[in-house]
Amino acid sequence: MGRPTIEDVAARAGVSRALVSLVMRGSPKVSDQRRAAVLKAADELGYSPHAMARSLASRTSHVLGVMVSDLHNPFWAEVVDGLDAYARSAGFELVINTGGRRPSRERQALTGLLSFRPAGIALLGPVLPAASMAGAATHTPVVLVSRSSRQPTVDTVNDDGRAGSGMAVDHLVALGHREIAHIDGGSGSQSAPRRTGYLEAMRRHDLTPRVVRGEYTEAAGALAIRELLADPPTAIMAANDLNAVGAISALEAAGLAVPKDVSVVGYDNTWLAALRHVSLTTIDQPREEMGRLAAEALIQRVRGERADPARHLLRPRLVIRATTTPPR
């Protein structure tokens, strides 16, 4: 006999295929009696399309929803690795979607995750309004990664962006740089603390700051270089590793060598930064640890082990590679 199908479950339970689908999606429109019949038939046949069926059967969800702000950024893949490893060790599975760094799409993504009735939701780098996240927390535990919150019902996991930016500026100043520009992350999560850290460090060294508006993308890094080419700085602190790679590509296309003409520092220390032909000096965030702490915070809430908000602030560190050197 082959693997049981949804039609087999419908036949065993004496209901329609459409009703079985409603049960498996967790629809509230199904009566308890019919839901029980469908789940009993599914159990007898060994039919379990996903973890949601088990959650419905026990009325206790073992699914954690995860919304990733940007699937193109390798930083988030490494955060999800840590989140997934801890969740699985605790008997939970993940459902993942994305909001594409746009508030309207993130609202849709959050609504979609809530429809699964998850045990909890992790929002990775969200640009959602704070009210939307607080509203979600009235339905299920919520943890934010790389986003701050004052809501007592929302947990947070961040690195110290101000300190990280200060490390980057201090490193460049120690090499002898005085003209240090910052390509910021625009409205992206944690862009403000990194920008603040840069400005504070520049003032501390009695240097004139120069901030160029950007985003957490390669394209934004390259675009910012167009603005800086009129009067190139000797060093650039980029908003993140993707931003730095875009800046390096644009600098070299303009005939400037990195680091001979312009030194560049990134932020995140993703696998991209460690590639030998990139070898990017960057600020390391403990990505997998951040994911682990996010999963732990959710599961503590789910199990009733903690009611007070968790506020994790991790210390970044400087990783020196080949894109920084003393100025000419």
3-state secondary structure 181-232: EEECCCCCCCHHHHHHHHHHHHHHCCCCCCEECCCCCHHHHHHHHHHHCCCC
For Cα atoms 66, 69, 70, give the angle at the middle one, nearest 5 degrees.
115
Alpha-carbon gap, residue 291 to 300, rounded angstroms = 14
Reading the block at residue 36, the tokens are 């029980």
pLDDT digits (tens, 9 = 90+) for 140-194: 999 999 999 999 999 999 999 999 999 999 999 999 999 999 999 998 989 999 9
Domains and CATH numbers, the chain: 6-58 (1.10.260.40), 63-158+287-313 (3.40.50.2300), 161-285 (3.40.50.2300)
Task: Give the model's pLDDT for residue 120.
Answer: 96
**Could you tell me the pLDDT band of residue 56, with boundaries at 50, 70 and 90?**
very low
pLDDT at 116 over 90: no
What is the structure's pLDDT at 217?
A: 95
pTM of the model: 0.81
Summarize pLDDT for 250-262 with one digit per residue, the tens.
999 999 999 999 9
Chain centre distance of CA 281:
21
What does the pLDDT read at residue 26?
Answer: 61
pLDDT of 48: 54
Q: DSSP per residue over 12-27, as a string?
A: HHTS-HHHHHHHHTT-
